[in-house]
Structure 1
Amino acid sequence: MLSRFLLSTPLLFLSAMVAQAEIKPEVILEGLKCPSGVAIQPETETVFVAETAASQIIRVVDGKAEVVVSEFPADEYGKGPTYQIGPLGLAFLDKEHLVVGDGSLKDGEEVVRVYTIGENGAEVQKADAGKKTNPLEAEGEMPGEGNFYGVAVDIDNVYVTSNGDDKKGWIARASLEKDGLGELTRYIPTKDSVDVDAPAAITISPRREVVVGQMGEINDQKDSLLTFYDQKSKSLLLSLPAELYDVVGLAYSPKTGRLYAVDYSWADPKQGGLYRLDAVRRDGQQMVKATKLIDLDQPTALAFNQAGELYITLFGNGDGKDTSKTPATGKLLKIGEGL
């Protein structure tokens, strides 16, 4: 039964497709301080970016950055180099409500926030103005999880990936309520399911499965996984090697239904890039073929607008703290329709 399901499912898309034209990204913004998340506002198609080392969220207005939410606290992540982090993943509930996954506090204190978004030029909100969920509760001796890197919104729930100190690497979930989000709870301990660390990328498939990219270890091994979970049962439907080093972003094209990923490649940023993920069969087994479309230096997130244009954030220099000595080099890129 399972094999029949995998053969018929459109979770991934077959690779018998016309070769794509040469891709030439357009730089929309540069000089950003370590952007880590990107989302497209429904109806307006305005692009929002989490500029994590600047502790703020911006949107693109007439080709320029406009601050929307500011003054997030700042935490640090990593060991040699150490990164300053604030807001991380972004996703919209609807035109007026933006969900933000937090990385600015200590594990056990971090929350998911929802902001009501005003018109262009509206007064900048402070970070604590957003409605917030509860932090995740501790599990035994382990503190509540933090670093909500990826955010995905479905009809009834919001999902976030969590990469704090808890070695299980959780997907957390909060229900959608009339006045915001319900209780944030532990949903799936991903390492228990696949024995690979660090859930980072997350999206919802056309069939409404929760699709998660497990980064794996931060080394030079292509150990990332592409995994699919049933929302109701929480069961693992499919887990496949992604042929990527550190997959941190996933998105389906609204025009073609194809699945795309960005690979940060921590150990060697020169190996990072944008990939199309296609389903293939090898020796009778379903597998993923990752086709590299362009080289990218430290990509962190991607999002399509309804026209099929793709926006990608590039992290840039490591800390973004002292731009007088080291200018910020983060970027927002745009790729035209056709993916």
Structure 2
Amino acid sequence: MMTARRGFFLALAAGTAIVALTADHADAQNQKKAGGPRPFARNLDNPTGIVVHPETGHVFVAERRGIVRFFKKEDGKRGRAMQVNRFPTDIYGKGPKYEIGPLGVAFLGSDHLVVGDGSRPDGEELVLVYNIEAEAPEKPARANSAAYKLGPIAPGDDSAKGEGNFYGVVVTDDGIFITANGDDTKGWILRAGVDGGKPGELKPFIATKQAVEVDAPCGITTNSDGDLVVGQMGEISLPGDSLLTVYDAKTGKLKSSMETGLNDIVGLAYSPATGKLYAVDFSWIDTTKGGLFELTVEGDEVSTRKIAELDKPTAMAFDANGNLYVTVVGTAEEGGKGKPGKVLRFGKRAL
């Protein structure tokens, strides 16, 4: 999510809209019949991050109130438990305002959860690493109980304004990598090395704005070569400016930068079943155009196929079987109870 400093662009259209049945809409209807999207979890408050445990299959979601774990109970029903809570919160946006706590999530091994912070002012936010057990906790841990606290990246030579808004997190053999949106002039990807399972100091690694002249790195994943694959979101007031970029994870060297035609890429993931690359586009300028897309790279060009229309998607993660989970902020229904945020599940046949 973006800070109040950067703001939100709210597009309002007057009059009566006539909605045509487009090819994209037809594709969305067909894939729904094939196995998705179906609600996996409801009543989430501005969910922004998601990850699936590689061994247990438990789904961990970052939302305003903390980290929520979803799991299968002994009776086969789905259980829900708060894993970590008591995060502070921050308010983002102009016009529509969103209250945000933690942002991106990833696993370091099987027993540590890495959480990118969004709940404090830029220059004070941390990357927090929590011990987790195989089973859901009876009581949640508190936000300040992290086993490791990485950062902050305070104002200084590397970042004039200090870093924050740690949106995307990915863990590789080369370390922990985090996309940050505190300083628009640099657009940092941060890195913390890992030695013996213990994370090291958090440092600025790649100044993406200087490399590609587009700001706001958000979604991040890795390809089969171990490279960092990053969705450069760009300006929220400009349509179609999101880039798909690839960096060497060891050196930070830019290997490729490709236009996608999408508005605001906030999440990226490769299917473990097919190897295909997918993105979620929040589309700040017109959220009715947001959704899930398949990205196909041929040479130095990217083509996109819209799989589903989604209501303000924010993050995505696959399970080991190739099923996809996507977090959406959603829109509150008049008179509705609970929070509008959801996790949607796409069966692998739907992709």
Range into which the TM-score falls when normalised by the shorter chain: 0.7 to 0.9
From the superposition, tell whether residues 178 and 280 of structure 1 become closer, same or farther in structure 2 (CA, over 3 Å).
closer
Number of the residue aligned with 1:95: 110
Number of the residue aligned with 1:32: 44
Number of the residue aligned with 1:156: 174
**Residue type of the alignment partner of 1:28:** F
Q: How far apart are 1:267 and its partner, in Å?
A: 1.5
Separation (CA, whole Å) in 1 of partners of 2:104 and 2:45: 15
The DSSP-based 3-state class of the residue aligned with 1:128 is: helix
The DSSP-based 3-state class of the residue aligned with 1:22 is: helix
Separation (CA, whole Å) in 2 of partners of 1:87 and 1:300: 13
1:196 to 2:214 alignment: yes
- Where does 1:70-149 land on structure 2 (aligned, <5 Å)? 70-118=85-133, 119-130=135-146, 131-140=148-157, 142-149=160-167
- Where does 1:1-339 land on structure 2 (aligned, <5 Å)? 22-23=31-32, 24-51=36-63, 53-54=64-65, 56-62=66-72, 63-118=78-133, 119-130=135-146, 131-140=148-157, 142-178=160-196, 180-280=198-298, 286-317=300-331, 327-338=338-349, 339=351
Contact in 1 for aligned 2:124/2:154 (Cα 8 Å): no
From the superposition, tell whether residues 146 and 111 of structure 1 become closer, same or farther in structure 2 (CA, over 3 Å).
same
Separation (CA, whole Å) in 2 of partners of 1:294 and 1:174: 35
The DSSP-based 3-state class of the residue aligned with 2:210 is: helix
Note the aligned Cα RMSD (angstroms): 2.1
Separation (CA, whole Å) in 2 of partners of 1:173 and 1:324: 44
The DSSP-based 3-state class of the residue aligned with 1:107 is: coil
Separation (CA, whole Å) in 2 of partners of 1:181 and 1:83: 31
Q: How far apart are 1:123 and its partner, in Å?
A: 2.6
Separation (CA, whole Å) in 2 of partners of 1:120 and 1:229: 36
Q: How far apart are 1:77 and its partner, in Å?
A: 1.8
Contact in 1 for aligned 2:291/2:311 (Cα 8 Å): yes
Q: How far apart are 1:78 and its partner, in Å?
A: 2.1
Q: How far apart are 1:184 and its partner, in Å?
A: 0.3
Separation (CA, whole Å) in 1 of partners of 2:235 and 2:283: 10
**Residue type of the alignment partner of 1:294:** A
Contact in 1 for aligned 2:316/2:324 (Cα 8 Å): yes
Q: How far apart are 1:317 and its partner, in Å?
A: 4.3
Separation (CA, whole Å) in 2 of partners of 1:184 and 1:104: 18
Contact in 1 for aligned 2:82/2:139 (Cα 8 Å): no
Which 4+ residue blocks in structure 1 deviate beyond 6 angstroms?
Answer: 323-326
Q: How far apart are 1:110 and its partner, in Å?
A: 0.7
Identity among equivalent pairs (%): 47
Separation (CA, whole Å) in 1 of partners of 2:251 and 2:243: 20
The DSSP-based 3-state class of the residue aligned with 1:192 is: helix
Deviates more, 1:59-68 or 1:198-207: 59-68
Number of the residue aligned with 1:4: none
Q: How far apart are 1:209 and its partner, in Å?
A: 0.6
1:169-199 residue CA offsets vs partner (Å, 9 max, x unmatched): 1000001133631000000110000000110
How many residues in Structure 1 have an aligned counterpart in Structure 2? 311
The DSSP-based 3-state class of the residue aligned with 1:164 is: coil
1:247-293 residue CA offsets vs partner (Å, 9 max, x unmatched): 00000001111100000001111100100000236xxxx31001101
Separation (CA, whole Å) in 1 of partners of 2:59 and 2:247: 29
1:48-98 residue CA offsets vs partner (Å, 9 max, x unmatched): 0001x22x1001134243100000011122222222111000001122111
Contact in 1 for aligned 2:174/2:249 (Cα 8 Å): no
Deviates more, 1:270-279 or 1:323-332: 323-332
The DSSP-based 3-state class of the residue aligned with 1:66 is: strand
Separation (CA, whole Å) in 2 of partners of 1:325 and 1:335: 25
Number of the residue aligned with 1:3: none
Separation (CA, whole Å) in 2 of partners of 1:74 and 1:295: 29
Separation (CA, whole Å) in 1 of partners of 2:338 and 2:285: 22
1:91-133 residue CA offsets vs partner (Å, 9 max, x unmatched): 0112211100001111111110111112224331000101211
> With structure 1 as the length reference, what TM-score do the two structures score?
0.87
